[in-house]
Amino acid sequence: MYFQADFEQAHRCGLAVTVHAGENDDSESIWQAVYKLSALRIGHGLHLKDARHLVRAVAQKRIGVEMCPYANYQIKGFGLDGNSGNPYPALDYLNAGIPVTINTDNPGISAATLTDNLLLLPRLCPGVTRKEILRFQRNAAEVAFLSPSKREDLLKRIDVLLRR
């Protein structure tokens, strides 16, 4: 809510926005990002799981959730290999229809590459399949801030590669 006036100016210029929410704060910050700041993507969104109705709204609106496994492991302490009372929510979000993406984080926080994040993901989400990892990657193209024609072209190229 502190940034609502600033974001209004961005929207008036036609800019799409990502809002960092729900990592170190609760699901209320995600609600504000979606409904007050009109975010098209949410950075982290770890506490989205705490608000069932918001999960449904984010899925219906096709708002991307950018997850950074390496940084989330370092900062939030998600357990490896299923050894945690706090499971990493990436697969739950994906299965709820949210276009989750796997990303890198601020290099000052975590110097992990995209490859590092993708390699850590199965340890945070035991049982994740190759197909699910490919869905995360396709979702990245789906929620990319591109013109509709460029997004459509990119998705077609990805779909061709996925059929191989």
- Please give the positions annotated as active site: 23
Q: Tokens representing 22? A: 């729900």
Helix 52-61 and helix 27-35, axial crossing angle in degrees, nearest 10: 30
Helices (H), the chain: 4-12, 27-35, 52-61, 69-76, 90-95, 114-124, 130-142, 148-163
